[in-house]
Structure 1
């Protein structure tokens, strides 16, 4: 790994060691306030919680929203998508328009483990609305599901995206009783750029409280490798990913901003408290499997297990997830980490 990074940065051994040992930037993941409910345009007074920006959402929504205290309405996912005992509402976990999450929670039965779903889109696009069917599938398995948006690279540079995922997780765990959720059992499932964010959160610090596993579907966990692969000799997709990684770093290249790129490079941050991870790649996609193999080696060096599975073809992200056996394997792996839900 050091050889590859040295090739990318064109640095001497001492400079590279400085980059690799640089402490990760400290981000306050707990600074966000309580999640703010954003009711649908025509809320049901008997099912919509009171909407106060700083108030904790009630455990059993029942009060009608107050016109004087409600934030601007935003459309919630159609309840027709949800299993019978599931409620879905959109909450804000920060002040930016992109800092929102759709929470699917079961109103009956025991407290449920949670699955956080993180969309992809080159860090510069994408939306949680494209993750509805995947969210439904995990809700049908009995889990609480949090389908979240985050600030894009055009809104804010790294590490804003990682900070947003940390803040969303913190908000849900803080209000776990409101969502009939077990704050001590959750996993992160990320697609493409979202897979990078999921792995970056998993490797942040020495593990995260309650995090039982991380899944990445085509995750570009090594932006430095993406930068190298996206040279003039790379494919159009690889060149696009290189530009996307530079934009994520605030428009700065690795040589000019080594600390930022070090912070973005997930294999640099493996530690013994990190959760187990699972990654899927296609053999010929523009985010090659070797990126996850690098992370696997880094995690193995500190005693953390990671499984990297490679499928034939070029499918990337959600299309790869829809390949025969992929979703089923991911779901089985998650059940093994979180347990089955009874009742």
Structure 2
């Protein structure tokens, strides 16, 4: 009888354990599903990797860099967008980087994260021939700037910038003008801190280096840059970068959407266009990749495309 009761107790405990395991959230670091999610320390800061295991084959990579004026913000602001891209089949790395540090330290952190990912490409089933940089606001400055450093050994498939502050000196100058807005002044101060609290007239090389257009050259990745018409990081940041790239035959287009939303605030309008571009430039065939370049180059190199109000571009 005692043996029977003991067997019942063991069976009950076993069932309880099974039920508890079934009710646990799918912690991505242990889940056996097709997608995993885990945070890592890559040296200067942390990143969150959302990836599909090697059994599904190597996949294109999207590296995401948050905004915040180089002084604040975290990768958490892009968590939902990172998971959205992972659900479309990408290996996604959502980065933090050091804040309130002088140039070029934040850009060096993004490069260090890339090097960390590259050293573990096999583990993450990452196709390093298909890496797209994605950044918003200050993060847009970092990815567009790193994207033009091809001579330093960094080669990317494409760059997407959401309201990139592509020329911090332009932001500084705008913030010094009579009648500048509070946003202009905040961005001016942020750019000044990024430059190590050194005025442009005193440290011209630093400010020149911070401008993404400075190192634009042949072989740079195509860029797809997003703004809204009346936001506080004006489209001229991107149009000047595109013009510099266009002089070297690099496809680059600025798309301007109605309204005054900034950075990821423009996502709901632009997501369909952004993802179409990323999907095409990372396509499996040369034809698909050419189509991705044509998606922006076909309008005209360096063109500004104004999107009419009332048209939805939300990704499905």
1:169 match = 114
Pairing 1:293–2:293 present: no
1:214 paired to 2:159: yes
Matches of 1:210 and 1:203 in 2, distance apart? 9
Equivalent residue number for residue 319 of structure 1: 265
CA distance in 2, matches of 1:226, 1:160: 19
- The normalised TM-score by structure 1 is 0.72
Question: What residue number does 1:335 align with?
Answer: 279
Residue number in structure 1 paired with 2:145: 200
> How far did residue 208 of structure 1 move?
4.8
Superposition deviation, residue 256 in structure 1: 1.1
> Could you say which structure has the larger radius of gyration?
2
Partner of 2:188: 242
Task: Tell me, in whole angstroms, the C-alpha distance in 2 between the residues paired with 1:129 and 1:261.
Answer: 29
Rounded Cα–Cα distance in structure 1 between residues aligned with 2:205 and 2:155? 28
What pairs with 1:44-193 in structure 2 (closer than 5 Å)?
79=28, 84-94=33-43, 96=44, 99-107=45-53, 108-152=55-99, 154=100, 156-193=101-138
Contact 2:166/2:241 (8 A) holds in 1: yes
Distance 1:250 1:78, change over 3 A: farther
**How far off is 1:78 after superposition?**
5.7
CA contact (8 A) 1:215 1:330 kept: yes
Instruction: Provide the secondary structure at the position in 2 that maps to 1:142.
Output: coil
SS, match of residue 114 in structure 1? strand
Deviation at 1:210, TM superposition (A): 4.4
Q: Tell me if the contact between 2:231 and 2:262 (Cα under 8 Å) persists in the aligned partners.
A: yes
Tell me the CA shift for residue 84 of structure 1: 3.5
State how 1:261-276 maps to structure 2 within 5 Å.
261-276=207-222
Q: Which residue of 2 aligns with 1:255?
A: 201
SS of residue in 2 equivalent to 1:214: strand
TM-score, with length taken from structure 2: 0.78
Sort the Cα spacing of 1:199 and 1:78 in 2 relative to 1 into closer, same or farther, 3 A. farther
For structure 2, the residue ranges without an aligned partner over 5 or more in a row are 1-25, 286-316
Q: Which residue of 1 aligns with 2:171?
A: 226
Please give the root-mean-square deviation of Cα atoms over the aligned residues, in Å. 1.9
| CA shift for structure 1 position 313 | 1.1
Say if 1:201 and 1:83 are closer, same or farther in 2 by CA, change over 3 A: farther
Q: Which ranges of 4 or more aligned residues in structure 1 deviate by more than 6 Å?
A: none
Per the alignment, in what secondary structure is the counterpart of residue 237 of structure 1?
A: helix
What's the counterpart of residue 21 of structure 1?
A: none
Structure 2: distance between partners of 1:183 and 1:145: 12
Task: Name the count of aligned residue pairs.
Answer: 257
**How far off is 1:322 after superposition?**
2.3
Residue by residue, what CA displacement relative to the aligned partner does 1:16-62 show, whole Å, maximum 9, x if unpaired?
xxxxxxxxxxxxxxxxxxxxxxxxxxxxxxxxxxxxxxxxxxxxxxx
Of Structure 1 and Structure 2, the greater helix share is in 2
Cα deviation, 1:66-107, whole Å, max 9, x if unaligned, reads xxxxxxxxxxx9649x9941111111111x4xx111111101
Q: Distance in 1 between matches of 2:113 and 2:159?
A: 16
Question: Quick check: 2:28–2:38 contact (8 Å CA) kept in 1?
Answer: no
